[in-house]
Amino acid sequence: MGAKTGLLMYADGDVPGLLRRVGAADLDWTAIMMRRLYPGGEIEECEGSNLYDGVYPPKGTAYAASWPGVDVIGDQRVMIDAPSQLPEHLVAASAGRRLVLHAMHSVIDWLAFAVWEDGRLVRSLSLSPDSGIIENIGEPLPFELPYWAADRPADIVPWPGEEEEPFALPFHPLELGEDALRALCGFIQEGYPEPDDVDADNIRLHGFHVRVPHEPDPAEQEAELHRAVEITDPPRFYSLGPDGSLIERDGL
C-alpha cells in the first residue's frame, strides 16, 4: 500500500452523491473559498490536479474546488494526529453542513478520519501500529464495524528470517483507510474500484500556493533537508545470506 491523503470536504449532505454530479469548478468561487479558509494567507494560483492525484499535494500547495453544495481541499496541513484539534475556523466554516477529514500516510501506516455535523464532532479516529490508538471519539461508523469485530485482521508477511509477530492493531489502518475514503468521499486510492465509485480522475481541482503567517517556507525546509543529507554518512547495503543473516555489500 502506498496511499497518502490530506483531505477536507464540506458538503450539504452525502459527499459521494454530490461529487457524482459536479462539473467544472469555478476558479473565482474556489479562490473565495480558499481566502475564507486561509485567513491572512498568501494565496497564488498554480497548476492544478485532479481529485485522485490531488489528495496529497506538495507542502505549501493546496488543490481545491468549490461547487454548489460541496467543497474539496487537499492539503498536507490537515494531516494532524488528533482530528478533534482541527483549527477552530475550519470547523466553524462547516456550520449547517457536513465536514469530513481524511488523512493517511503509508510510510508509517497511519490513518485519521473525522466527521462533523453542523460543527459538532460525531466521529474521530486516529491510529498507527507504532502509536496505537491516538484518538477514538464517538461511535464507530458502519464501514468500521467489520474491523472492530476482528473480521478484517491485518495480513502481514514478515521479512525472510524474521519470526512473525502479532500486528500491533486488530486490523491494518490503511485497509480501513480505503474503506473510510470510499464511504465518506466516494472513491479509493488503492484496490479495486466499484461501479458506483466517484470518477476521481475526471474531477479537476484548482491549484494554489499557500503561505500562512508564521509558517516555515517550504523551500527553506527543502534546503535544510538537503543540507542534512549532505552531512549524513553514506547508506550501507545488505543482502540476505543463506542462513538468513544480513551480509553487508559494496553497493546496489
* Residue 60 contacts residue 210 (beta carbons within 8 Å): yes
> If DSSP codes are grouped into helix, strand and coil, which group holds residue 22?
coil
Report pLDDT for 64: 98
CA-to-CA distance for 84 and 241, rounded, in angstroms? Answer: 48
> Per DSSP, what are the bridge partners of residue 70?
11, 67
Structure confidence by residue, pLDDT tens digits, 117-127: 999 999 999 99
* Residue 103, amino acid: A
Structure confidence by residue, pLDDT tens digits, 62-115: 999 999 999 999 999 999 999 999 999 999 999 999 999 999 999 999 999 999
Secondary structure letter of residue 94 according to DSSP: T
**Among residues 29, 59, 51, 13, which one has the least CA distance to residue 220?**
59
**Segment-wise mean pLDDT, segments of 10 residues, the chain, 252 residues:** 90 96 97 96 97 96 98 98 97 98 96 98 96 96 94 60 62 96 97 94 98 68 51 54 60 54
Domain boundaries defined on the chain:
4-249
Report residue 230: phi and psi, to 5°. -65, -30
> If DSSP codes are grouped into helix, strand and coil, which group holds residue 29?
helix
Q: Considering the entire predicted model, what is its pTM?
A: 0.82
CA-to-CA distance for 134 and 120, rounded, in angstroms? Answer: 20
R_g over Cα of the chain: 20
* Residue 106 contacts residue 1 (beta carbons within 8 Å): yes
Report pLDDT for 219: 56
Contacts 24+ apart (CB under 8 A), 193-199: 196/20, 198/16, 198/19, 198/20, 198/51
Report pLDDT for 247: 62
